[in-house]
Homo-oligomer: A and B are copies of this chain.
Amino acid sequence: MTRRSLLGLPALPALPSLAADATVTASVQKLQLKHTWTTVMSSSTHRDVLYTTIRQDGLTGKGEGAGIVRYGESAESGAAFVNRLAPELARMDLRQFGKVIDWVLKQSEADWAAKAALDIAVHDWVAQRRGVPVHALWGLDPQDAPLTTFSIGIDKAEVIRQKVREAEAYPVLKIKVGLTNDEEVIEAVRSVTKKPLRVDANEGWKDKDEAVRKINWLEKMGVEFIEQPMPAHMVEETRYVRQRVHIPIIADEACLRPADIPKLAQAYDGVNIKIDKAGGL
């Protein structure tokens, strides 16, 4: 007995099969960066990114994800995840995208960037099929989208100044710190711009009193908030820091899922939500 037979409704017409021409692909592309990208975590001249496509019914949805080494992911491991799912995924009806995405999320305990790449590709397919942009699927006003930041990696003062000049079009900057030259980096930025700044230490400061000193100095430099000042596991130390500074402290590496939030409530003022961490839109 199904709900429809129970209610005396006629059976739904069988959906015409869409899967005949269906394919799911994964590929890794090496993006050459304009500047060497340095944070506390690594320094690199390129970025490997996972690209996925989902083709069905003559439409191709495209998605991408950038696995983060900090969470044990790479573009290659993401591609392996997508390739493992591809045969079954290609047989699913993408019109039932809510069901499809639920299924993808259950196929592993990790692979969040690869899940995000598939989620984006599915949403792209659905939006194309409906003839609308993705924001219209949820009835949102694109004018309400918040301003995001343009990130400036750690570098020597001279290069920093050049990067900030090149970022002229972007009204809010996020500055990476956490190595040995924090003051040099911030002073270089401020020597060429008065824009709102947000600062990300990527877990770089290990001493809580050093973190307090640096954050209070950053406040004087006009910084709006500080992201992940101390290592993710140092929740108590971060709470200590938060009681001694004025600008908000935002969790990034410390917060991957909603379940992480309760234990962080006293130590942080907010959370940096990333599609690659959350597994999709």
CB distance from A57 to the nearest CB of B (A): 14
Is A3 engaged at the interface, CB distance under 8 Å to the other chain? Answer: yes
Using A6-B171, A8-B169 as known contacts, say yes or no to A98 and B1 having CB atoms under 8 A apart.
no
Contacting chain B: which of A34-42, A64-72, A136-144?
Answer: A136-144
List residues of chain B with CB within 8 A of the CB of A141: 96, 99
Instruction: From the candidates B98, B100, B143, B169, name the one contacting A6 in the complex (CB within 8 A).
Output: B169
Complex: A144 Cα to B101 Cα, angstroms:
15
CB distance from A263 to the nearest CB of B (A): 15
Is A95 engaged at the interface, CB distance under 8 Å to the other chain? Answer: yes
Q: Within the oligomer, what is the number of copies of this chain?
A: 2
CB distance from A260 to the nearest CB of B (A): 17
Is A2 engaged at the interface, CB distance under 8 Å to the other chain? Answer: yes
Q: Which residue of B lies closest to A150 (CB)?
A: B6
Using A130-B130, A169-B8 as known contacts, say yes or no to A2 and B136 having CB atoms under 8 A apart.
no
6 more contacts with CB within 8 A, not counting A2-B143, A95-B139, are A3-B147, A6-B147, A95-B136, A99-B139, A99-B144, A130-B130
Q: Name 21 A/B residue pairs within 8 A (Cβ), A-sorted.
A: A2-B143, A3-B145, A3-B146, A3-B147, A3-B148, A4-B142, A6-B147, A6-B171, A8-B169, A12-B143, A95-B139, A96-B139, A96-B140, A97-B139, A98-B139, A98-B140, A99-B139, A99-B140, A101-B139, A130-B130, A137-B137
